[in-house]
């Protein structure tokens, strides 16, 4: 693997070993802070080493998986159907002022009822895989722990609909919609929630263990912990960095317990975890210390325990860039054997990549790349290459899947004209192909999202789908980016440059041949 040339100052394990101050953990704590999510301020961009895509299409390996992703609460609707009980997101969305447009998870994209139509849509795009999540509240609706066969039967029908069209399922067990009954018992602040999750996961493995699927235990435990338990901008709307730290550890413990149950169950398929990861660039490479700590908080706090069986010692504490929880309390949550459980061997790592961040010497997040319509998203395709090569170097020997990547439309209005997304995909596919050609074991890519859907605190004001949804009529309309994606899938290759004339005109055999 060659040294990653771009961006020169990105944080890697090598940076960590050399950075002055890395490894220091403040004894002081900043418990129970209620901060707003960081809003980057513009600064000079990192200076990239130029990389020019080749003038020929870049091909992907035979067997590369092309898919699209959604999650239960964001697309299903039918929130009261078949015995489902509320999740923390039902409760949170019902509170005034939590969701930008005052909306709820009803009707979302009505996929609970329209999964057959959506499977047809996937087949028409040539998707080889569909990533969806199971709603815990449908499978285990109450604190009695009884499995509701109506929930199980629904997901069996979804899996059958996919199988009938040759589409492989990628199943997430937990995508933030914790049952309210679990939250009422304490949620992720409680260690016992890991046991409840293991029971729920076991029920799913028993019900669908015959299915050749890629299972993901958790979706983005970082966002659920930080935005839901520290910033309070997501469900369950808590505002405590110590609670967020507990949510980190107990989610990871739940992950490990579920992986152990998966192995015991003998279920077919593979299992991993979906982590949202972000390259961190110090704006002053001569002073990288705060950026090293942000890298610990954003990336290594999740990667290291899961893949190496250790927590980094610079992620939690009172120094700039750290999760400002009490490190002593955080360490106290960790019982003997927890890290062995959390590091239970995985079959793949699911990587969710949306962009990059800069960090100044004071630890403030800064803007180093253009933002999308989501102000938190700094778009830099080369960051994907940088992330993938860093993962392959620092956490070798684990296959990688990109299980989310995408941008929202510029406007909340329904549109199928999305040139920005099309260009986003083209440039990110190129960086994925570049990483593969440099030896990264990347096996698949899932676009976020198949459908416009309920974008959490943004409600229906941000449309992330490659297929537009009219939420009044539930009509599905593939966007231009979906056509582009279908052509890439058919060719198993990404075209070299501006592509508008390429769309729909590619001869797959000519490119692949
Ligand atoms: O919509 C979300 C998804 O649920 C988790 N990852 C990020 C996406 C875009 O914000």
Question: What pLDDT, on the 0 to 100 scale, is given for residue 50?
Answer: 66
**Residue 341 to residues 261, 262, 306, 316, 345: CA-CA distances in angstroms?**
11, 13, 9, 21, 9
Question: What pLDDT, on the 0 to 100 scale, is given for residue 451?
Answer: 98
Question: What pLDDT, on the 0 to 100 scale, is given for residue 13?
Answer: 53
455 lines ligand 1 (CB under 6 A): yes
Q: What is the pLDDT of residues 140-175, one digit of tens each?
A: 999 999 999 999 999 999 999 999 999 999 999 999
405 lines ligand 1 (CB under 6 A): no
- Residue 220 among the catalytic residues: yes
Question: What pLDDT, on the 0 to 100 scale, is given for residue 423?
Answer: 96
Q: Please answer whether residues 6 and 385 qualify as being in contact, where contact means their C-beta atoms are separated by less than 8 angstroms.
A: yes
Q: Nearest 5°: CA angle at 298, between 295 and 302?
A: 110
Sign of the C-alpha dihedral computed for residues 23, 27, 32 and 36 taken in this order: negative
Question: What pLDDT, on the 0 to 100 scale, is given for residue 503?
Answer: 36
Q: For residue 327, what is the enclosing H or E element?
A: helix 327-333
Question: What pLDDT, on the 0 to 100 scale, is given for residue 49?
Answer: 59
Question: What pLDDT, on the 0 to 100 scale, is given for residue 52?
Answer: 85
Structure tokens at 486: 């279908």
- Among residues 220, 289, 382, 458, the one annotated as catalytic is 220
Separation of CA 492 and ligand 1 centre (Å): 26
Mutate to test the pocket of ligand 1, among 177, 235, 374, 456 (most ligand atoms within 8 A of CB): 456
Secondary structure (DSSP) of 374-432: STT-B--HHHHHHHHHHHHHHSTT--EEEEE-----SSSS--S--HHHHHHHHHHHHHH
DSSP 8-class letter at 106: S
Instruction: Give the ligand 1 atom nearest the CA of 408.
Output: 9
Question: What pLDDT, on the 0 to 100 scale, is given for residue 176?
Answer: 98
Q: Whose CA is nearest to atom 2 of ligand 1?
A: 455
- Residue 404 among the catalytic residues: yes
Question: What pLDDT, on the 0 to 100 scale, is given for residue 500?
Answer: 42
Sorted by where each starts, the structural domains of the chain and their CATH numbers stand as 13-512 (3.20.20.80)
Q: What is the CA radius of gyration of the chain?
A: 22
- Among residues 76, 289, 298, 404, the one annotated as catalytic is 404
Q: Which residues of the chain have pLDDT under 70?
A: 1-50, 498-513
Structure tokens at 141: 């609706």
Instruction: Give the ligand 1 atom nearest the CA of 449.
Output: 1
Separation of CA 455 and ligand 1 centre (Å): 7
458 lines ligand 1 (CB under 6 A): no
pTM: 0.91
In the numeric block, the tokens 């890519």 are attached to 445
Question: What pLDDT, on the 0 to 100 scale, is given for residue 80?
Answer: 98
423 lines ligand 1 (CB under 6 A): no
Q: Is 102 exposed, middle or buried (0-12, 13-18, 19+ CB in 10 A)?
A: exposed
């Amino acid at each position: 693997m060659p040294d990653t040339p771009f961006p020169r100052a990105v944080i890697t394990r090598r940076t960590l070993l050399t950075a002055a101050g890395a490894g220091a953990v403040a004894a002081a704590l900043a418990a129970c802070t209620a901060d707003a999510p960081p809003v980057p301020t513009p600064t000079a961009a990192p200076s990239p080493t130029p990389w020019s895509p080749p003038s020929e299409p870049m091909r992907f390996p035979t067997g590369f998986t092309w898919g699209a992703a959604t999650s239960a609460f964001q697309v299903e609707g039918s929130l009261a159907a078949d015995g489902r009980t509320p999740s923390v997101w039902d409760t949170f969305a019902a509170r005034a002022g939590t969701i930008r447009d005052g909306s709820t998870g009803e009707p979302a994209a009505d996929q609970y009822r329209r999964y057959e139509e959506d499977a047809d849509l996937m087949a028409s795009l040539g998707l080889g895989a569909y990533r969806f999540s199971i709603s815990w509240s449908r499978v285990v609706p109450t604190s009695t722990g009884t499995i509701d066969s109506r929930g199980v039967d629904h997901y069996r029908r979804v899996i059958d609909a996919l199988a009938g069209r040759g589409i492989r399922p990628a199943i997430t067990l937990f995508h933030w919609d914790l049952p309210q009954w679990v939250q009422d018992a304490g949620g992720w602040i409680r260690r016992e929630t890991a046991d409840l999750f293991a029971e729920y996961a076991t029920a799913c493995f028993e019900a669908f263990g015959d299915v050749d699927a890629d299972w993901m235990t958790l979706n983005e435990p970082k966002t659920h912990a930080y935005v839901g338990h520290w910033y309070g901008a997501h469900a369950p709307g808590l505002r405590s960095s110590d609670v967020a730290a507990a949510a980190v550890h107990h989610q990871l413990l739940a992950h490990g317990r579920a992986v152990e149950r998966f192995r015991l169950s003998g279920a077919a398929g593979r299992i991993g975890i979906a982590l949202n990861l972000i390259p961190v660039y110090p704006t002053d490479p001569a002073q990288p210390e705060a950026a090293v700590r942000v890298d610990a908080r954003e990336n290594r706090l999740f990667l290291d325990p899961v893949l190496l069986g250790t927590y980094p010692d610079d992620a939690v504490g009172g120094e700039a860039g750290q999760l400002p929880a009490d490190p002593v309390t955080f360490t106290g949550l960790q019982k003997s054997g927890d890290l062995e459980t959390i590091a239970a061997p995985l079959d793949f790592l699911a990587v969710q990549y949306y962009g990059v961040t800069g960090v100044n010497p004071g630890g403030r997040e800064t803007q180093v790349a253009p933002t999308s319509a989501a102000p938190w998203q700094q778009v830099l395709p080369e960051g994907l290459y940088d992330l993938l090569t860093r993962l392959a170097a620092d956490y070798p020997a684990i296959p990688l899947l990109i299980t989310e990547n995408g941008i929202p439309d510029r406007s909340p209005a329904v549109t199928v004209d999305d040139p920005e997304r099309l260009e986003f995909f083209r440039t990110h596919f190129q960086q994925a192909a570049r990483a593969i050609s440099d030896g990264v074991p990347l096996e698949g890519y899932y676009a976020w999202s198949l459908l416009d859907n309920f974008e959490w605190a943004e409600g229906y004001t941000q449309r992330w789908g490659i297929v537009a949804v009219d939420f009044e009529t539930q009509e599905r309309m593939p966007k231009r980016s979906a056509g582009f994606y279908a052509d890439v899938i058919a060719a198993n290759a990404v075209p070299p440059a501006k592509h508008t004339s390429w769309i729909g005109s590619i001869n797959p055999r000519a490119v692949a041949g």
